[in-house]
């Protein structure tokens, strides 16, 4: 299999510039509302702000992968003398907390880099952050070419046409036993 170029999208977060305005939460939740822009509930946002003005803590965190179970341990960071709470930097939608869960259904939320319909050229949270705390960057990386599901389907269909479904199932079962 050959190598292909893949676009990697990155949002760099400059904590020194974030003032906790929460515009990023607002636009993200509005863009992903159904119908679009019909509400702006931060609980539905894929970016959440950890905010503690008395300690000068403003930390935007993006929703990442869904985690079925919580971690065995917890992390706590101290940066520039400021102690962050346990799990503050974690992006997971996990059972240990309410963040990154759709409030009505409880379904996990995940940042899609605003590729939702219509896809945005630049993430909206970045566009709405007037303090330039969120900086969008793109780069290209070479990765192994993925086998497309469509190609597998076509290949399987032609084998089923030629040998019949049962024979293909038996062959796959035999191969997986060898394994
Ligand atoms: S990139 Fe788009 S989906 Fe992700 S947090 Fe920002 S506004 Fe929300
Ligand atoms: S819009 Fe920018 S400055 Fe405002 S809370 Fe979000 S990251 Fe911070």
HSE-up (13 A, CA, CB side) for residue 53? 4
Q: Which residues line ligand 2 (CB under 6 A)?
A: 18-24, 49, 58, 60, 128-129, 131, 133-134
What is the reported pTM?
Answer: 0.79
Q: What spacing in Å lies between the alpha carbon of 12 and ligand 1's midpoint?
A: 13
* Residues 161, 159: Cα–Cα separation, whole Å: 5
**89-148 pLDDT per residue, tens:** 999 999 999 999 999 999 999 999 999 889 999 999 999 999 999 999 999 999 888 766
For 44-97, what is the HEC assignment?
Answer: HCCEEEEEEHHHCEEEEEECCCECCCCCCCCCCCEECCEECCCCCCCCCECCCC
* Residues 93, 106: Cα–Cα separation, whole Å: 10
Give the number of the atom of ligand 2 that is nearest the alpha carbon of residue 20. Answer: 5
Q: Which ligand is nearest to the CA of 123?
A: 1
């Amino acid at each position: 299999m050959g190598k292909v170029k893949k676009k990697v999208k990155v949002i760099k977060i400059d904590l020194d510039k974030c003032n906790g305005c929460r515009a990023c939460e607002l636009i993200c939740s509005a863009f992903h509302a159904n119908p679009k822009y019909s509400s702006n509930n931060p609980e539905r946002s894929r970016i959440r702000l950890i905010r503690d003005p008395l300690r000068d803590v403003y930390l935007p965190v993006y929703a990442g992968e869904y985690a079925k179970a919580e971690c065995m341990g917890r992390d706590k960071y101290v940066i520039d003398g400021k102690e962050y709470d346990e799990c503050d930097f974690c992006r997971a939608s996990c059972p240990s907390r309410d963040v990154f869960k759709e409030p009505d259904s409880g379904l996990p939320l995940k940042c899609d880099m605003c590729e939702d319909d219509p896809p945005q050229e630049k993430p909206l949270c970045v566009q709405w952050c007037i303090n330039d705390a969120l900086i969008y960057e793109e780069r290209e990386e070479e990765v192994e070419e993925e086998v497309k599901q469509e190609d597998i389907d076509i290949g399987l269909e032609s084998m089923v046409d030629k040998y019949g479904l049962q024979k293909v199932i038996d062959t796959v079962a035999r191969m997986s036993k060898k394994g």
